Each structure stands twice: as structure tokens, then as C-alpha cells.
Amino acid sequence: MSEQRTLDLFRRPDPSKTIPRNPAFWIEEVRLLKSYSPETSALIRKPITFQKGLNVIWAPAPPMNKRKDINFAGHAAGKTTFCRLLRYLLGEKHIAAPGVKEAIEANFHNGWIVGKIHISDQPWIIARPLHPATRPRARCLPSDSFDNLLSNPEISLPIADFSAALEAVTIVPLPVKLFGDGKTAVTFEHVIQWLTRDQECHLTKLNLFRHADSKSESPNLTAEAAYFLQRVMLNLADKDLQEAITKCEELEKEEKDLPTDKEYQLRRERELNAFLQTARVKAPDTPNLTDLEIKPARDTAENLEDQATKNTRDAIQLAQETRLKESTELTALQVKLGAVEVNFTTAQTAVKDAKAKISGLTGEEYTQAIAKENAARMPPPQHCRVDRNHAEEIRCPAFLALDALAQNQEEIAAQIEKEKKENADHLVKCEANLETIGSTKKQIGLDIKSAEKSISTIDEKIANRKTKLATIEKPFPIIAAKIDDLEEVLDKIKEIEKREAKLGDEVKAAKALQEDLQKRHKETEDFFIDEYAWTVAQIFGGEETETKCKFTREQISSSITYHGKDLTSAAVTALKNLTFDIAAMTFSCRGRGHHPRFLLHDSPREADMAEAPYGRIFDLIIKQAKEPPNFQHIITTTSHPPEEYQELPYLRLKLDSATSAGKLFKRDL
């Protein structure tokens, strides 16, 4: 850590042996155009030119004695808008703050801002549209001539080429290319924020570059990141230091987060214990469960589940056993029914056969059969024509044969009658047997239906009991999961407590390492502090003024006292931060640090600083510019700058909000 030093306000450190010849970049000329054209008729106003060294943009505020004659002069003339347009040329997203932005877009739908910007020794022409719908969003060309780009837009290069050139002169020389988090790259979009502070910030803090009200959409810079960026640009950081800062930030974040993490886990522990107490796993009014009690808690939960579900499980088991018995009986009945159905079919066939036999021995069919048989037995007609009586007297062989046949027929008839009776008896027996088998079959069918109904009833009971069991069991998986959660929480609390025991020492060691690495830059730091002290002396003056500056591990701070009393007014704070910016630039001008040697300050007098120190700012810049200027400082003001700076070559643009023609866009927006 750097010690706070009381500075010799009148001793300026010697410059480095190597002095840069030019700013890393500077703006030579800006044109506001109604349309994309090289013609003078396209100009909204005359081209605005700048020089290396001091450049003043002035919108005079009226004196007090003119307050009744002039309204709002000095303000709303376009100074801040012009600063935003310069930032837009250099790569920021928006042309102005909300309200003004929409007014410009509405009035200059086809408008462009075109600038000549020198990067090292190479001039570039950059063109960007004033309306967001215009395409392309930018054109650029390494050239000294506006006409080359405006007359031949087809030869323009991607804006990425211009951005890469800016990065090459502002970012590549930096000893560290990443912020303290070790992940976020330092870019020109970060650097430009310090070089061109928002007017809304009023120089209130050393590390405050962009105000939320400006709606710039610049990359966010935390206080730590802003201080780190200033360190890097002052050459007070290197890769080792960046890595140490990253490590320190990680450990400090962990140290900051650990209590919150622990409290969260402790709260979870309390909640889980309360849940388990409600679930009767933990006894009321006993200490919270420890990791050694997790297994007993699981056993208790299992016992509770067994007790809660035992009756229902037993009932289900009994029902399932009964169902099995009923199912076995049903199967036996179905087998028996199958056998009976075979017997029934056989009995039906027997009855049918018996009826067929009886039917065959009676009726017309039987008479016709006898007649056919008689006819077959009769001798041919020509055999004999003798009367029966005569044939019998003479004992005709043919007659005797026919008489024997008649006797056979009687016997046959008697036999048939006998068979009829036997078949009728058999039919009665067959029908009786069929009825018996039918009754048996019917009874078995009724028994099967009864068994099926019984099984259905049992199935319904089993389903209902299983539903009841599921309801009873439902809380227990949740209880088991909560016990698992508690085990995990207890493990995490142990881990946090172990980490707590070590983290404090690790943070101390990381801070010590960071401070040791910062001491590497002690000589450069002392050079800058002396440059800052000398800069303060030029603006505040007087031997009664004392300045202190300190670079700590976390921040950069300074104080100014007068006759031993701290100067803390808004004006002094603004001057203090303004002198820091100027000292950082002149430090680089004299060959130290990596500041690009470009500054844009928008109306710093609005912090209500006194005229004398405000005027000395201009004197300081001119004093630095007596040597061939290797910087560019653009400052806007409503206050009268010192008289000698109210004309060329210092005054580059004079605006007047009292008239439309005096405003930046030559009209009311």
C-alpha cells in the first residue's frame, strides 16, 4: 500500500527521456451534414476545426445585469450535445441524451457527422449517420481528404478497421489487458469513458465517468474497475498485479458471500428440523439433528411408515390370498364346466339318436319300407296265376314259399314293436341323463358367476386399499428426501466452517501479496503524485495549500487542505478531480504512463468553482502546450474563459442559445 504523502506543490518531476511526439489520437475537424455529400450546400454549419493543445467551445452566459433581457443564454446551445457527438464519432452508441437524440433524428433524417481524426501519424475520415435507420451505420477511410470518402462511399472500410486502429494505440501499449476479474478485456470503450466524462457527473468522484442519466450504454465500470483502469493507464499495474488483484477479488467475494451462504444453510437446517419434528421423526424440544443422527432419523421414518401402513398392507395381503383361493376355485369350476359341456353334448347326441331310431320304426316311412320288401319278395307276375285256395289245396311250392314270407313279416313286426319299446325306454333314460347334465352345467355356470363376482369384489377392495396405502405412504418419500437434504445441508455447513477457518488467512496473504506487487511501481507512483501535486499548485496556488494523495489496494484518494482545513466543497471536489485528469494526461505527455493524451471536459465550471482557479486551468493547459503540443484538450464553458483565450487559435467554436442561428444545429430542436 502506498503511504499518504504530503506533497511539494512546487516541485515538478523531471520528464522521461522519451517524450511522445503526438497524442495517441486527436480530432482535427468535424462537419455536420444535412446529407451524405461533399458539397458545401450539405453543411449544417461551417466545419469546426481543432488543434493540438487547448481548444475552447464557448456558449457565453449573460452577465447579471442582462438577466431581464436574455433568457437561458449559455445553456441549451449545444455544448454537451457536441461533446456527445464527438464521443459518437469515436465509437459510442448514441448521438445525444434522450430527448435531444430524438429531436436531432427528427430534424435531420438524412444527416451525418463526419470527422477527421488522427491516430498516431495517420489521419482517418469517419462518417456516422444521425438517424438510427440509416445504413450503413458508419463509414471510414484512412485519408486526409473528406472528399475521398464523401464522393466515393463505395471505397469505405468497415468501421471495425478504425476501431482496431484506436485499440492499437490505446489498448495494445497497456501492460495489462484484463480487469481485476481476470475475464473482462480492457477496451477503448472503457478508456474513452475516463477521457470524456459525462457532463452529468459534474466531476463529483474520481472514479465516476458515466452517469445513468446520460443513457450512453457504455460498458459498466464498477468503482473498483474504474480505479484499476486508472492504475493501468498510469502504468501502476502489471500482469502479476492484475492476477493478484483477481485472486484477491475472488477471495474477498468468497469471504463476503460465505456468511450469507452459511446463514442460508443454517436457515435450511432449522426449517428441515422443524419439518422432521412435525413429521414425528424428531422429538419436540430437542436439539437439531446432527450428521450422526441422520441414520437413526431414517430408521425412525421407516418405522413410522411401517406402523402407519401395516394394517392396510395386511388387509391387502389377506385380500390377495382370498383372491388367489377364489381364482383357484374358479379355475377348477371352469375345468369342470368344460368336462360337463362335453358330457352335455354327448347326451344331446344320444337323445337325438334315440329319437331317430324311434322315428325310423313308425309312420309312413316304415310302411313304405315293408311294401318295398314285400314287392321284392313276390315272385314275378308270370310265375303263377293260380287262386290261393287252389294253390293251398295242391300245395304249390310257390304258394308255400309266399306263406312262409308272410309269417316272417309278422315276426318282424313283433320284433319292431319290441325295438320300439326298447328305444322308447332308452330315449327316456337319455333325456333324463341330459336333464341331469344340464342342471349340473347350469349350477356350475352359477358357481362361476358367483366366483367371478367375488373376485371382482375382492379386486375392488384391493384397489381401494392400495389407494389408501398410497395416501398413507405419500408423505414418507418427502420425509426421506428431507432427511437427505438435511444430510447435504449439514455437510455444506461443515465445508463452510472449514473454509471460514482458512479463508481469513488466505485473504490476508492475498492482500499482502497485492500490496507487495504494488510496491514494484513505487517510483512511478511517486512521479505521478509529484506531477499531481504540481498540477494542484498551478490551479489552487498558495503555500497555505497542502495536497495529499494515496494509492491504496482498493482505491485512489486525494485531499486538499487550506490552512490545515480540508477543502470539501463541490467546487473543490470538481477541481481536485479535474486536476487529477489533467495530471494523468500531462504525466503521459512527459513520457510516463499510457494515457492517450486526449481530454474532453464538458462545462467543469458548472460545479460553481471560483473564477480564479477556473481560469488557471486554461493557463495550465497553455503552459503544457508551450512545448510542441503532444496532447489535445477540448473544454466547453458557459463562463467567460480568460480574455486571451476568447479568440483563435484557442476558441474553436462559439455558440449562443439566445438565437436559433447561434445554436449548434443552427435551429431550435
- Do 652 and 49 touch, CB atoms closer than 8 A? yes
Determine how β-strand 139-142 pairs with β-strand 545-551: unpaired
Q: What is the pLDDT of residue 558?
A: 87
User: Taking 70 as the threshold, does the pLDDT of residue 5 lie above it?
Assistant: no
pLDDT digits (tens, 9 = 90+) for 597-640: 999 999 886 656 778 888 889 999 998 888 789 999 999 998 88
The total number of residues written for the chain in this structure: 669
User: Taking 90 as the threshold, does the pLDDT of residue 416 lie above it?
Assistant: no
Sort 576 into a burial class: Cβ within 10 Å, 0-12 / 13-18 / 19+.
buried
**Whole-angstrom distance, CA of residue 253 vs CA of residue 119:** 40
Q: What is the pLDDT of residue 1?
A: 42
Most confident by average pLDDT, 8-17, 19-28, 180-189: 19-28
Q: What is the pLDDT of residue 152?
A: 95
**Ordered DSSP codes for 356-403:** HHHHHTSHHHHHHHHHHHHHHHSPPGGG----HHHHHHTT-HHHHHHH
Nearest one of 258, 271, 281 to 489, comparing CA atoms: 271
Beta-carbon neighbour count of residue 448 at 10 Å?
16
User: Taking 80 as the threshold, does the pLDDT of residue 422 lie above it?
Assistant: yes
Say whether 45 sits in a helix, a strand or coil: coil
Q: What is the pLDDT of residue 75?
A: 65
pLDDT digits (tens, 9 = 90+) for 490-516: 999 999 999 999 999 999 998 888 888
Element spanning 52, H or E: none
Chain mean pLDDT for the chain: 87
Q: In the structure, what pLDDT confidence band is assigned to residue 399 with cuts at 50, 70 and 90?
A: low
Is the pTM value of this prediction over 0.85?
no
Q: What is the pLDDT of residue 364?
A: 52
pLDDT digits (tens, 9 = 90+) for 88-132: 999 999 999 999 999 999 999 999 999 999 999 999 999 999 999
Task: Compute the Cα dihedral for 151, 155, 160, 165 and give only its sign.
Answer: negative
Residue with cell 347334465: 437
User: Taking 90 as the threshold, does the pLDDT of residue 240 lie above it?
Assistant: no
**Whole-angstrom distance, CA of residue 367 vs CA of residue 622:** 158
Beta-carbon neighbour count of residue 346 at 10 Å?
14
**Ordered DSSP codes for 458-515:** HHHHHHHHHHHHHHHHTHHHHHHHHHHHHHHHHHHHHHHHHHHHHHHHHHHHHHHHHH
User: Taking 70 as the threshold, does the pLDDT of residue 367 lie above it?
Assistant: no
pLDDT digits (tens, 9 = 90+) for 170-225: 999 998 999 988 889 999 999 999 999 998 888 889 999 999 888 999 999 999 99
Classify each residue of 175-203 as buried b or exposed e, where b means 16 or more C-beta atoms within 10 Å of its C-beta: bbebbbbeeeebbbbbbbbbbbbbbbbbb
Grid coordinates representing 480 are 426421506
* The one-letter amino acid at 426: H
- Do 550 and 4 touch, CB atoms closer than 8 A? yes
User: Taking 90 as the threshold, does the pLDDT of residue 652 lie above it?
Assistant: yes
Question: In this predicted structure, which of 237-251, 320-334, 583-597, 644-658 has the lowest mean pLDDT?
Answer: 237-251
Mean pLDDT of 547-576: 79
**Whole-angstrom distance, CA of residue 665 vs CA of residue 105:** 12
User: Taking 60 as the threshold, does the pLDDT of residue 406 lie above it?
Assistant: no
Q: In the structure, what pLDDT confidence band is assigned to residue 336 with cuts at 50, 70 and 90?
A: very high
Q: What is the pLDDT of residue 2?
A: 46
In terms of pLDDT, which residue wins out, 375 or 35?
35
